[in-house]
């Protein structure tokens, strides 16, 4: 009998298993695929970032090296090698998780996990053989899968999801992306940088619509420069694939129809929780109408010894959110009182410029009727950004009008994915904009833009604009 069985080895599941083992619990993890790491390591965060880095090198070599005084001849893309390197990066990471399981003495059961009852999980291997394992507690961390629309036939050849987009055999001539959210824009960027024309169709009136509106507007300007075209406020009504051609039809908000032809269409309209075959009902676990495992504030399901974390429960579908929840459940199981501040889980888009945010958006503050002040600083005024020729974007700080407490930080610019950590720390300690504005930031760094935006928010006293 295990103390804990974790079903699913994504960032939620494997981190939960490690923390459980650290806390002295006899732990098992069940994973249906031969490699550990889940969506994030195999077909998500890590491979997409590997391709984003490679394509960015190519884009810089073909677009900015000359200005830097570096001349290249015979520049070309070897997509096969790019994908091979990406696969190597994935392997290093998934092997790393295997090592961590061993190091922490966690039993790895490779096979499909399904509930027999509230304490028994059947693990079925590909060859059909099955073993039952027992656990006092069970953590469901089965993650998510790409969503689609009922009329779209995903043939995974020309009409693809993010998973296939990470393994294309050729650079699309014209990639049509359905959905202007994070995944569509990141993978669209990969192929736009490699020379594809990329058309994005988005139902809402802005890209990355859940983020602060300023971010979507700025990102749209930057992506246009690398060959993106956008159809905002367009609703896709049909997707057809014939031979090497795909046709996407979409209606705009005035009822006019556009027809876009390309050679690949990437469907990236979001992800849905994955519980297929889990047989949760055998344990009596409730699933919501949206397909999520229902949990309370302790991430506990309606069955007291069964917990659920990550993409399969409510909240942002992010690897680091899943990880925090994994640690939270492990610590709850040994009687600790952990806490997650969901408002301070940062969100990042790894386009170039990168977008990163934490806390409330301006739209949310308006909706709450909260009085706030805004400080902005453009990267165009940053010496570091000028030196690296990365002057697109800005930092926007929202602070309480009376107390000066930072309520939201929204950044678009170079390396903001890393810079946002400073804002998270500041906000966890409930810093005021002036607190950050009075701290020394190394010169020249991109981080000075955050300090300057805080100065601007404090009382409009940015120094370099
Ligand atoms: C292209 C792409 C890029 C992304 N980039 C980022 C990023 O940059 N940053 C970020 O924070 N997030 C990113 N995400 C989202 C991130 O991958 C997810 O939020 C994260 O993986 C969720 O972790 P999880 O542990 O909940 O589930 P998952 O990672 O989905 O893992 C679930 C695991 O459970 C296994 N499983 C499911 N059912 C069973 C069963 N019955 N038995 C056994 N095993 C089972 C699955 O095989 C899988 O391995 C990206 C996603 C995609 C698709």
Residue 439 lies in a domain: yes
- Mean pLDDT over 199-226 rounds to 97
| Both tokens assigned to 266 | 């990437």
Angstrom distance (rounded) from CA 392 to CA 385: 9
- What confidence score (pLDDT) does residue 430 get? 98
| Both tokens assigned to 314 | 């409510």
Look-up of token digits 């926007």: 396
- What confidence score (pLDDT) does residue 184 get? 98
- Taking residue 400's Cβ as centre, other Cβ atoms within 10 Å add up to 17
State whether 26 and 124 are in the same domain: yes
Q: Domain boundary at 269, 291, 322, which?
A: 269
DSSP 81-131: HHHHHHHHHHHHHHHHHHHHHHHTTPEEEESEEEEEETTEEEEE-TTS-EE
Q: What angle do CA 404, 410, 416 make, to 5 degrees?
A: 120
CA–centroid distance, 45 to ligand 1, in Å, is 9
- Mean pLDDT over 203-217 rounds to 97
- What confidence score (pLDDT) does residue 329 get? 99
- Atom number in ligand 1 closest to CA 37: 49
Q: Which neighbouring-strand residues pair with 239?
A: 248
Tell which residue, 183, 153, 201, has the closest CA to residue 44. Answer: 183
- What confidence score (pLDDT) does residue 36 get? 98
Residue 338 lies in a domain: yes
Instruction: Give Cβ neighbours of residue 296 (< 8 Å, ≥ 6 apart).
Output: none
Angstrom distance (rounded) from CA 195 to CA 342: 38
Task: Give 90's pLDDT tier (boundaries 50, 70, 90).
Answer: very high
- What confidence score (pLDDT) does residue 464 get? 96
Q: Which of 139, 143, 168 to mutate to test the pocket of ligand 1 (most atoms within 8 A of CB)?
A: 143
CA–centroid distance, 280 to ligand 1, in Å, is 19
State whether 294 and 327 are in the same domain: yes
Q: What is the CATH number of the domain that holds 222?
A: 3.50.50.60
Counting beta carbons within 10 angstroms of the beta carbon of residue 203, is it exposed (0 to 12), middle (13 to 18) or buried (19 or more)? middle
Task: Give 401's pLDDT tier (boundaries 50, 70, 90).
Answer: very high
Instruction: Please count the structural domains in the chain.
Output: 3
Which residues are tagged catalytic?
A: 443
Kindly report, residue by residue over 336-389, the tens digit of the pLDDT: 999 999 999 999 999 999 999 999 999 999 999 999 999 999 999 999 999 999
CA–centroid distance, 143 to ligand 1, in Å, is 5
Percent of residues, the chain, with pLDDT higher than 70: 100
195 DSSP assignment: T
- What confidence score (pLDDT) does residue 115 get? 98
Kindly report, residue by residue over 31-70, the tens digit of the pLDDT: 999 999 999 999 999 999 999 999 999 999 999 999 999 9
- What confidence score (pLDDT) does residue 191 get? 98
Tell which residue, 320, 286, 19, has the closest CA to residue 6. Answer: 19
| Both tokens assigned to 352 | 């170039």
CA–centroid distance, 38 to ligand 1, in Å, is 5
Q: Domain boundary at 284, 317, 342, which?
A: 342
Task: Give 233's pLDDT tier (boundaries 50, 70, 90).
Answer: very high
Give the pairing type, strands 347-349 and 228-231.
unpaired
CA–centroid distance, 144 to ligand 1, in Å, is 6
What residues make up the domain containing 117? 2-145+272-342
Angstrom distance (rounded) from CA 56 to CA 390: 13
Residue nearest to atom 5 of ligand 1 (CA): 45
C-beta separation of 272 from 143 below 8 A: no
pTM of the model: 0.97
Dihedral sign for Cα 223, 146, 311, 287, please. Answer: positive
| Both tokens assigned to 109 | 């059961």
Angstrom distance (rounded) from CA 51 to CA 54: 5
- What confidence score (pLDDT) does residue 67 get? 97
C-beta separation of 457 from 373 below 8 A: yes
Q: Domain boundary at 342, 370, 393, which?
A: 342
State whether 30 and 126 are in the same domain: yes
Tell me if the bond preceding 297 is cis, omega within 30° of 0.
no
State whether 285 and 136 are in the same domain: yes
State whether 444 and 316 are in the same domain: no
- What confidence score (pLDDT) does residue 66 get? 97
DSSP 386-402: HHHT----EEEEEEETT
Angstrom distance (rounded) from CA 362 to CA 280: 40
State whether 373 and 423 are in the same domain: yes
State whether 81 and 212 are in the same domain: no
Mean pLDDT of the chain: 98
Residue nearest to atom 52 of ligand 1 (CA): 44
C-beta separation of 410 from 396 below 8 A: yes
C-beta separation of 273 from 261 below 8 A: no
- Mean pLDDT over 180-191 rounds to 98
Q: How many helices (H) and strands (E) does the chain have?
A: 15, 22
Angstrom distance (rounded) from CA 397 to CA 177: 31
- What confidence score (pLDDT) does residue 237 get? 97
State whether 264 and 276 are in the same domain: no
State whether 18 and 33 are in the same domain: yes
C-beta separation of 64 from 389 below 8 A: yes
State whether 171 and 226 are in the same domain: yes
CA–centroid distance, 322 to ligand 1, in Å, is 9
- What confidence score (pLDDT) does residue 126 get? 94
Cα–Cα distances (Å) from 346 to 181, 271, 416, 464, in that order, read 16, 19, 11, 27
State whether 131 and 163 are in the same domain: no
The pocket around ligand 1, CB under 6 angstroms, is made up of 7-13, 30-33, 38-40, 44-45, 48, 112-113, 141-144, 162, 183, 274, 277-278, 310-311, 317-320, 322, 350
- Atom number in ligand 1 closest to CA 310: 26
Counting beta carbons within 10 angstroms of the beta carbon of residue 429, is it exposed (0 to 12), middle (13 to 18) or buried (19 or more)? exposed
| Both tokens assigned to 67 | 């200005």
Angstrom distance (rounded) from CA 48 to CA 70: 28
CA–centroid distance, 10 to ligand 1, in Å, is 5
State whether 168 and 251 are in the same domain: yes
Cα–Cα distances (Å) from 215 to 85, 109, 349, 357, in that order, read 31, 43, 10, 9
- What confidence score (pLDDT) does residue 185 get? 98
Residue nearest to atom 21 of ligand 1 (CA): 40
- What confidence score (pLDDT) does residue 187 get? 98
Helix (H, G, I), strand (E, B) or coil at 457: helix
Residue nearest to atom 17 of ligand 1 (CA): 40
- Mean pLDDT over 319-332 rounds to 98
């Amino acid at each position: 009998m295990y103390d804990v069985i974790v079903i699913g080895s994504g960032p939620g599941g494997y981190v939960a298993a490690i923390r459980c083992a650290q806390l002295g619990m006899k732990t098992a993890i069940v994973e249906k695929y031969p490699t550990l790491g889940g969506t994030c390591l195999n077909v998500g965060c890590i491979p997409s970032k590997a391709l984003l880095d490679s394509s960015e090198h190519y884009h810089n070599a073909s677009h900015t090296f000359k200005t830097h005084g570096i001349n290249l001849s015979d520049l070309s893309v070897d997509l096969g090698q790019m994908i091979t390197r990406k696969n190597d990066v994935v392997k290093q990471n998934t092997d790393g998780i295997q090592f961590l399981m061993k190091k922490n003495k966690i039993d790895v059961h490779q096979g499909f996990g399904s509930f027999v009852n509230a304490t028994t999980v059947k693990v079925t291997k590909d060859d059909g053989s099955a073993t039952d394992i027992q656990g006092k507690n069970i953590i469901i961390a089965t993650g998510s899968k790409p969503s689609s629309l009922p009329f779209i036939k995903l043939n995974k050849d020309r009409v693809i999801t993010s998973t296939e987009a990470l393994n294309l055999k050729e650079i699309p001539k014209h990639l049509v992306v359905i959905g202007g959210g994070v995944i569509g824009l990141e993978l669209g960027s990969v192929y736009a940088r490699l020379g594809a024309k990329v058309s994005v169709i988005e139902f809402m009136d802005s890209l990355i619509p859940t983020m602060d509106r300023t971010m979507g507007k700025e990102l749209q300007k930057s992506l246009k420069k690398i060959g993106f075209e956008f159809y905002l406020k367009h609703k896709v009504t049909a997707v057809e694939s014939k031979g090497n051609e795909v046709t996407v039809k979409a209606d705009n908000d005035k009822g006019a129809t556009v027809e876009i032809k390309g050679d690949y269409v990437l469907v990236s309209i979001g992800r849905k929780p994955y519980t297929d075959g889990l047989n949760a009902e055998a344990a009596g676990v409730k699933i919501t109408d949206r397909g999520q495992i229902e949990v309370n504030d302790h991430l506990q399901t309606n069955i007291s010894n069964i917990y659920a974390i990550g993409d399969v429960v409510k909240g942002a579908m992010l690897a680091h959110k899943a990880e925090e929840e994994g640690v939270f459940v492990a610590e709850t199981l040994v009687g600790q009182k952990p806490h997650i501040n969901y408002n301070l889980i940062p969100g990042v888009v790894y386009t170039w410029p990168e977008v990163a945010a934490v806390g409330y958006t301006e739209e949310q503050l308006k909706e709450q009727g909260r009085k706030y002040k805004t400080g902005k600083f453009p990267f165009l005024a940053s010496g570091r950004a000028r030196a690296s020729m990365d002057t697109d974007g800005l930092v926007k700080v929202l602070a309480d009008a009376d107390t000066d407490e930072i309520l939201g930080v929204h950044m678009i610019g170079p390396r903001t994915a890393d810079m946002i950590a400073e804002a998270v720390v500041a906000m966890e300690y409930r810093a005021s904009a002036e607190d950050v504005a009075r701290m020394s930031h190394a010169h020249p760094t991109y981080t000075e833009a955050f300090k300057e935006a805080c100065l601007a928010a404090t009382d409009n006293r940015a120094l370099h604009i």
